[in-house]
Structure 1
Amino acid sequence: MSDKQKTTQAKNAAQARDARLKAALKANMSRRKAQARARASDTDEKAQTGD
């Protein structure tokens, strides 16, 4: 394999890794935001009912 092919494959692997990490981060942030919204609404409901 030539050096050019190795660098191209390395770049493609790096791009694929970046895409996977970006997707994982996006999913994690969505999950965390949903958890924060749920906690906030639970707190609001408890404050309104006086529990």
Structure 2
Amino acid sequence: MERTPPERPAQKPATKAENSREARLKAALKANIARRKAQARARGGQKSDK
């Protein structure tokens, strides 16, 4: 007896609002990573006790 994968609904094209949200989240993530890298450089290689 063969097992077939379940049917998946076709993905609908992203709306303008979804694209806007994706772009906003991408920009926020990029800024967050840059800020964390700057903080790490400012510490000068000091390691935390965690």
Q: TM-score, normalised by structure 2?
A: 0.60
Q: How big is the alpha-carbon RMSD for the aligned residues of Structure 1 and Structure 2?
A: 1.6
What percent identity do the matched residue pairs reach? 9
Q: 1:6 aligns with which of 6, 19, 29?
A: 19
Higher helix share: 1
In the alignment, structure 1 segments of 5+ residues that lack a partner are 35-51
Which residue of structure 2 aligns with residue 44 of structure 1? none
In the alignment, structure 2 segments of 5+ residues that lack a partner are 1-13
Which consecutive aligned stretches of 4+ in structure 1 deviate over 6 angstroms post-superposition? Answer: none
